Every structure is written in structure tokens, then in C-alpha cells.
Amino acid sequence: MIDRELTMSRAIVEAIGSEMRENEEVFYMGEDVADYGGIFDSTQGLLEEFGYDRIMDVPISETAYLGAAVGAAQQGMRPIAELMFVDFFGVAMDQIYNQMAKNTYMSGGSVSVPMVMTTAVGGTYSDAAQHSQTLYGTFAHLPGMKVVVPSTAYDAKGLMHNAIRDDDPVVYMYHKRLMGLGWLPAPAGPKTPVPEEDYTIPFGKADVKREGSDVTVVTLGLHVHRALDAAESLADDGVDVEVIDLRTLVPLDRKTVVESVEKTGRLVVVDEDYRSFGLSGEIVSAVADEALDSLEAVERVAMPDVPIPYARELEHEVQPDASDIETAVRNVR
Amino acid sequence: MPSVERLRALYADMVTARYYEERLQEEYLEGKQPAFDISAGPIPGELHLAAGQEAAAVGVCHHLRDDDVVTAPHRPHHVAIAKGIDLKRMTAEIFGRDTGLCSGKGGHMHLFDPDVNFACSGIIAEGCPPAVGAGLAAKKRNTDSVAVAYLGEGAIDQGGFFESLNFAAVHDLPVVFVVEDNDWAISMPQERVTDVESADTRADGFEMDGIRVDHDDAVAVYEAAAEAVGRARDGNGPTILSVQVHRRMGHFMGDPQSYRSDEDQEAALDRDSIERMEAHLRDHGLDDDDLGAVRAEAHQRVDDAIAWAKDQPKPDPDDAYEHVFTNPPSGVTDTEPDFDLAETGGEGE
Ligand SMILES: Cc1ncc(C[n+]2csc(CCOP(=O)(O)OP(=O)(O)O)c2C)c(N)n1
């Protein structure tokens, strides 16, 4: 029995600290990661132990420092580089996509890029279109990087250990609403018991967060908790929902999803990212490929194809919430 | 030295901007105390206040016309006010109302007022290339309008800024890059992220001019900007104008500033550009009553704008789907098609 609970940010920091202690070659770079401890508490307390050389504040030059992480990784170091908000990827996408993600392949496997790029995703607090995107699909769509999206503190720690030890570039996307920030209250779910010792969670293994026989809901990140809320209220009406947390997008655990739909026959995919050309279409297509005969009905609950608006009424309209999930589940029933 | 009328106008905009932010701060904190929850209260989202930076806004913008273009960063209110933005509609936008400048879609970091050619963006240094583009348009069309890109001293390390400098310089474009040097980029002091002491020296590598005003004196900024804006207007190319200002507040509302020493915060509060401006006005014969009258008028304008904004309707949720395109393609207006195998006669029951 583990008697301590951590927020997701504490769990992430614990994994990073432990890996840094074990391996001199691990270091962390980003804006406001030293004295501030990360705008989303992603490095709280690490400066005191490791100093400015290993917890490095960098100039506001994403191209330079994300590219520098690629270069250091190619030298065999294990950099972790933080992109404060995923929305800022645009100023540095060449280093992310043409260098970090491609060099292994283009070198015929003679080069590896063992780095982690951490980044915050998600909205729900009216920060408008340049600070609220989720962009799971963008990173998962472009080949060459592994993409990790934890939804609980327990998973966040195990996935971070795995990410740092992995020999490939990993994009580790944490939802702001799950971190347990003082200024942005989290739902209760992400704070979980977390063991003190190190452990890894393998990539490509989805987690069935709730078993059910009527409808499969596939999701990740913040929306795991919204789906669980929806499942609870549907249970009162006798609808038994299975909730699958994908945990990683690359690699994607298609098998768990397909097996679940073979059992329930009905699929709802929930994604905070844009609807078209993204994750929700990918999941539906995976099920259609492998279990079309079992598939009786499908719904997608996703961000419509609009930039994320500022005003609360507008953001609330486009952001999928628990009641949208509930409606979708009822529609496929 | 500017005329007394001009000094009075500079001062009016400075006190408008300062009081505006004080009032916004009050409104913003409503419902966010004692426990700060960014998603509560009447003003949504993040709020970056510019108190202490007014001199850099008025000193430059008072040389500009409505057809001159300004791009501002994430801390835009003081510049917006100096550029003559519609104060009421800006305020309605910040409150997320339907009649706001951007119909509630943009918010405080993304204000657009095409009537006075003002825009801002929350991505660091990314207002520079569009300002260069506005300068390019002016040159191609043979007009004498100019473009001004505002950025912070933290933004001068960003690639988009360097590329913009080179482009503007090689094409002799009418652009002024105004660097508001407030010593801090969130928690990062300048010396930890650049070896360059002052942003104006970035001009050296591009064969362009750089000017530094090393205190936040609106009159000194006004005089330096006369040179920079004049050069642009006369077709003689771009300038970097770097102005020392002070960040009186945290980076954003709710920033506990634990990275910043008390002395540094106090020093920022001690050096107030508004008091400095009042001294200039007194030198020109204005007395307390005159100053008080300017302030009273500014405060009234702000109070009116806030009252008006709070009275405005909230947006209709369905409007979230409008404005993705100016010319919406036909046939794809339904962004949430109802697709369901059972209904479409697939493998359904
Ligand atoms: C490309 C990009 N990277 C990082 C950020 C996050 N960010 C917002 S403001 C800021 C600091 C900016 O400092 P400075 O340019 O000095 O302006 P100031 O806030 O001091 O006015 C940072 C890092 C961003 N908005 N865009």
C-alpha cells in the first residue's frame, strides 16, 4: 500500500531528479525552468539540487535550444528540453521535425537522438488560440518521434523514466489542467498514489481505466477524467462504459482498443485536439481496419476545426466536456 | 523639446494607461481571491500589465498617424492606448464580450484594431515580420507610412527578430523596432540569456542604426523616436530604438515573483516615468490643478470604457464557428457532422 499521493507535476519532477542523479549526462533546458521552477511546475526544486549547469535557463530562442538538444543528444547526452507551450512549436518546427525526428532515419540508423521534449498542452482557462492548443495529432502524425500523454501522477512518473531512458526522441505532452498547479485547479483524478522507487511504464500499452460492456470510450490526457465522470453518471442510467486511456500515441496500442470494441460494439473517441486529420480519425480507422464487423456505431467528440476562442462562452462551446461525452455515448447506444 | 500641448497629450496617455491597468487589475482579481484561480472572475485568461512602461509607448506612438502600423507583443495595453485604439471596444474584448474589437475571440494578448492599424500577438518576437511586411507594402506603394514593431528585451534573442532586422535593412524599409527593456523576461534576467548589454547594439551587425534611451523619460523617448520614425518616413531605412523601462508588476497577474529580489522590485517602483513626466510639465508652467484636470479626464475615460464594456452582451456560443475564413468554402460549414454507422445504414442495428 502506497500511502503518499503526488500531483502530476511532483511525479514528473521526481522522475527527472532521479534520472539526473543516476546519470550525469541528463540535463534540462528551457525558459524559466531554473529560478521559476517551470511555469507549469515541471522543474520545481531541481535547481537547488543540480544548479544552473544542469537546470539551464535558456534565451527565448526555441530554434537554438531545441536544436542544441538534438546536437547534444547526437553526442550521446540525454537532454530534456522544455517548450513552454506546445503552441510555440511553430518558431522551431524545423529543429523538431526535420532534425530531431528525422536524423535517425536519414542516417540509416547510424545516429540516434535520445532526447525528451516536454511541453504543456490544453485549454479550459481562456488563454485563446495561441496558448490553448493540444496538438497531439501534429506530433503523432509526423514520423520519428514517440509521443507520450500521461493522465495521472502514477503514469506520469513511470512514463517519464521510460522517456529519459529511451534512445529515441520522445515528445512528452502534459496537460496544464492535470499538473496540480495552485492557480489552475486540477480535477481530483490525476493526483494518485506514487511509489518512491523508480519504475517504468512501457510505451504502447494503453490502460483500461474503467471496464464496461456497452460502449468503448477511447481518450487521453485531461479527457480521461472527463470520460470517467461521464461514465459514472451514465452508470446511474444503466449504461456500462469502458474507458481506455491511450497513454502513448506513438507507439499506439491499437490492440487494446480493437479488443474492447469487439466486446462492446460501440466506439466513442474523445480528443481535445482538432477533429479533422487527427487522432480521432486514426482511432476510428484502426477499428474499422481490424474490427469492422463488430462496429455498430461510432462517434467522435473533438475540438471542431476552429482556432480556440478567448471568451468563456465560446471556448466552452468548442471544448469537449463530460456532458458532450455523455451525449455521444447515448447517441451510439 | 515638444510643445506644451504635446507634453500634455503624452501625459494624458500615460496616466490613461496606468489607471486603465489599475482598474483592470481590480476587476481581474474579483473572484480570484483569496485563492488565485486563473479561470475564475470577470476577466478570463492571462493578464500581462505594462505599468512602468508607458514612456516607451507614448514617446514613439505620438509620432504616428492612423495609417502607420504598430505590432505589439503580449503586454499591449499601453501601446494600444498610445496608438489610439478604440478604448471601449478594447475593454469589451478583454472582458470577452461580443462587441469587443475581436468579437471575444482574441482577448488581451490578441487585439486587432484595423482603424488605427494596431495588432498584437502572444508569440515572442513574431510581430516583427508582419511589421516588416507593412513597411514593404508602404515602400511598394510609395506611401510615407511607417511600421513599428514593439518587443521586449527577452525577445531580442529570437530568430524572427534577427531575420526581420536583416530583411528590413537590406530593403531599406520604413520600420522601427522598439525594444522595451524592462530587465526581465518572466524570471530570466537579461545577463543570464545574452552577453549583449543593450538591444540597440544588435543593429551593428545589420548596417542599420541603433539608439538607446537609458531611462524611461517620455520626452527623451519622444526625441529619440523623432529621429527613428523620421528616418523611416523619409525613406532612409530601419532603426532599433531601445528604451529602458521598469516592470512594476509580476510578469502576469498571479506571478509570485519569488525569483526577484525585494530591492529590485522597490527600485522599479521608485523610478516612475509618470512622476518624471509631471516634473517636465511643471517646468513648463503647469500646476497641480492642471495635472489633476488631465488625470481626472483620463480616469473618466477609463471608467466609462470599463462600465460600457461590462454592460456589453456576451457572445453567442454559435459564433465560435464564424470567422475561420473571410470567404468560407461552401459545403464544409458543418464542423461537427453527425456521423454514425447505425444511422447511415452501415453495420447498424
Ligand atoms: C515563442 C515563444 N516562446 C516563449 C513564450 C513565453 N513567453 C511569454 S512572455 C515571455 C517573456 C518575454 O520577455 P520580454 O520579451 O522581455 O517581454 P516582457 O514580458 O518583459 O515585456 C515568454 C518567455 C512565448 N509567448 N512565445
DSSP character at residue B70: E
Per-residue model confidence as pLDDT tens for chain A (333 residues): 788 999 999 999 999 999 999 999 999 999 999 999 999 999 999 999 999 999 999 999 999 999 999 999 999 999 999 999 999 999 999 999 999 999 999 999 999 999 999 999 999 999 999 999 999 999 999 999 999 999 999 999 999 999 999 999 999 999 999 999 999 988 899 999 999 999 999 999 999 999 999 999 999 999 999 999 999 999 999 999 999 999 999 999 999 999 999 999 999 999 999 999 999 999 999 999 999 999 999 999 999 999 999 999 999 999 999 999 999 999 999
User: How close A297 comes to chain B (CA, Å)?
Assistant: 5
In a domain, B334, yes or no: no
Residues of A in contact with B257 (CB under 8 A): none
Residues of A in contact with B188 (CB under 8 A): 31-32, 57
**Ramachandran area for residue B31 (φ above 0: left; ψ -120 to 50: alpha; else beta):** left
Domain boundaries, position B156: 4-317
- Distance between Cα A181 and ligand 1 center (Å): 20
Of B97, B122, B259, the CB nearest to A130: B122
Ligand 1 and A125: CB distance under 6 A: no
In a domain, B332, yes or no: no
- The pTM assigned to this predicted structure is 0.95
Output the residue whose Cα is nearest ligand 1's atom 12: B185
Put simply, the answer to whether A297 touches B340 (Cβ < 8 Å) is yes
For A114-161, the pLDDT digits (tens) are: 999 999 999 999 999 999 999 999 999 999 999 999 999 999 999 999
Cβ within 8 Å of residue A302, ≥6 positions away: A269, A270, A271, A272, A273, A274, A275, A278, A279, A280, A320
Ligand 1 and B315: CB distance under 6 A: no
Closest CA to A266 of A307, A212, A228: A212
User: How close B61 comes to chain A (CA, Å)?
Assistant: 26
- A–B CB contacts, 8 A cutoff, strictly below: 170
Residues of A in contact with B335 (CB under 8 A): 275, 304-306
Largest CA distance in chain B: 87
Strands (E), chain B: 69-72, 112-113, 118-120, 147-152, 175-181, 184-185, 188-189, 209-213, 239-244
Per DSSP, what are the bridge partners of residue A85? A120
- Supply the pLDDT for residue A1: 79
Ligand 1 and A117: CB distance under 6 A: no
Residue to mutate, B49, B54, B71, B74, ligand 1, most ligand atoms under 8 Å from C-beta: B74
- Sketch out chain A's domains with CATH numbers: 5-193 (3.40.50.970), 207-332 (3.40.50.920)
For A288-322, the pLDDT digits (tens) are: 999 999 999 999 999 999 999 999 999 999 999 99
In a domain, B345, yes or no: no
Count of domains in chain B? Answer: 1
Cβ within 8 Å of residue B270, ≥6 positions away: none
Please report, for residues B16, B19, B21, B51, B312, the alpha-carbon distance to residue B25 in angstroms, rounded to integers and kept in the order given.
14, 10, 6, 11, 19
Rounded to an integer, the average pLDDT of B108-113 is 97
Instruction: Say if residue B339's pLDDT is above 50.
Output: no
Residue B14 sits at the vertex; the CA angle it makes with B8 and B17, to the nearest 5 degrees, is 140
Residue to mutate, B180, B181, B186, ligand 1, most ligand atoms under 8 Å from C-beta: B186
Q: How far apart are CA B261 and CA B233, in angstroms?
A: 42
CA atoms within 13 A on the CB side of A193: 5
Q: How far apart are CA A60 and CA A52, in angstroms?
A: 17
Please report, rounded to a whole number, the percentage of residues in chain A having pLDDT higher than 70: 100
- Supply the pLDDT for residue B336: 52
Please, which pLDDT band fits residue B35 given cuts at 50, 70 and 90? Answer: confident
B313 burial type by CB count under 10 A (0-12 exposed, 13-18 middle, 19+ buried): exposed
In a domain, B333, yes or no: no
Rg of chain B, C-alpha, whole Å: 22
Put simply, the answer to whether A314 touches B336 (Cβ < 8 Å) is no
In a domain, B19, yes or no: yes
Ligand 1 and B245: CB distance under 6 A: no
| Residue B232 belongs to domain with CATH number | 3.40.50.970
- Distance between Cα B50 and ligand 1 center (Å): 13
In a domain, B71, yes or no: yes
Q: How far apart are CA A256 and CA A278, in angstroms?
A: 19
Question: What cell does B317 get?
Answer: 456560443
List, as ranges, residues 272-331 from B with C-beta within 8 Å of A.
314-321, 324
A19-32 CB burial, b ≥16 within 10 A, e <16: bbeeeeebbbbbbb
- Supply the pLDDT for residue B33: 83
Please report, for residues A66, B21, B43, B70, B71, the alpha-carbon distance to residue B123 in angstroms, rounded to integers and kept in the order given.
17, 22, 21, 16, 12
Taking all residues of chain B, what is their mean pLDDT, rounded to a whole number? Answer: 94
In a domain, B213, yes or no: yes
Ligand 1 and B152: CB distance under 6 A: yes
In a domain, B176, yes or no: yes
Coil vs helix vs strand at B29: helix
- Residue B327 near residue B109 (C-beta atoms within 8 A): no
- Distance between Cα A183 and ligand 1 center (Å): 19
Residues of B in contact with A96 (CB under 8 A): none
- Distance between Cα A214 and ligand 1 center (Å): 48
Please tell me if residue B130 touches chain A, with a CB cutoff of 8 Å. Answer: no
The identity of residue A129, as a single letter, is A
DSSP output for A86-117: GGGGGGGHIIIIIIITTHHHHTTTS-----EE
Closest CA to B16 of B326, B329, B302, B325: B302
- Distance between Cα B305 and ligand 1 center (Å): 28
